[in-house]
Structure 1
């Protein structure tokens, strides 16, 4: 059996990079997409994978990315992120626009571009990294909640539309994961980002990557539709036990 190919967006760090390592360890050839090409190339060299520049918010970049890829058996839509925690009354429309563009339209652009290859594979999978924010609104999260709820809707509709086609669709919704996520959300404020995880043990990128690996390893007749996973100390989006 020929080596299967996984395409991973947002692969330069965090969950994307960890997923690449987990899938490569399972024998997949990994094609890594992100804007930070220097990081991608280092990871690709480590894993024997392929690094390709990708900006999911730019249609020309997505088209160029897809044109360089032949076969694709698995797409991991990982690119995304949050910006700020302002309430609706003070919302920065530009921040909302950027979150929608990377999370929702970015997922759409790449999924649409890769679907022909996924169908042609005869057993394709789309695994999208969502968030607990896709299931439960929380104070200060309106923009990110709105974007991730839209991603969840996209995944659910795609699942319905792919019935009868050889493509499985899964959305993995993590709770608190310590990556660069909060650092980006708070515009590089390391102290503020660290406080998000103060007094508790969050999930690690590797925990999500192991879930991606497991989903991707299921036989063709099994579709893992949705997964919600949180650290033990977290019971919902805003309910967290902290040892302070």
Structure 2
């Protein structure tokens, strides 16, 4: 199964922020989407998820065009989002948060998936009756990932999962992402400011600058490329009044 983005364009009002973006990810593969703040990374995955309507281009899931589908239909098709900032339901328990993620599945599937999530994140099993808002930042991130997995997706879109976390917690989160790929066979797009960590888990990476893919390749090649540094430092020299995607 393949998730492909072809010549994707998206705009906020009359200002286009994505320009002919192309990328491909296979099921069971993680790709990294890199770039400075404002490069268009979050807009790309929001467009894939149906939270931003593309102005041109196609989003193909195994050849089926999902372009412009609302988020709930994208979820039913097999795509899940882990949003930046986690956005868990802080007044609901861990298990209630997870059950919300499984709303597109049957009761039997939800019970089976709960067992899988608790096996992946034993800490969540220990805190299943604890209110989400009382969890640590790392636990909330585990919960956000677990909630996305409850829909049994083929592909998971992860927006800055290590943001604001301590280094040891970042390592555990990315180990979980690797297990999701290896043990569950789920493909993913990882938006991540921590370039070294992103390249360590990705099979391929794409670098965005001002809404366009300017560099792509295998992680080792990109890690050694001076163009990668340029992509992060070059944003400051954009044209006057150019739009900056505040969602990264």
The TM-score, its normalising length taken from structure 1, stands at: 0.33
Q: TM-score, normalised by structure 2?
A: 0.33
User: Greater helix percent: which structure?
Assistant: 1
Q: Which has the higher contact order (CA 8 A, sep 6+)?
A: 2
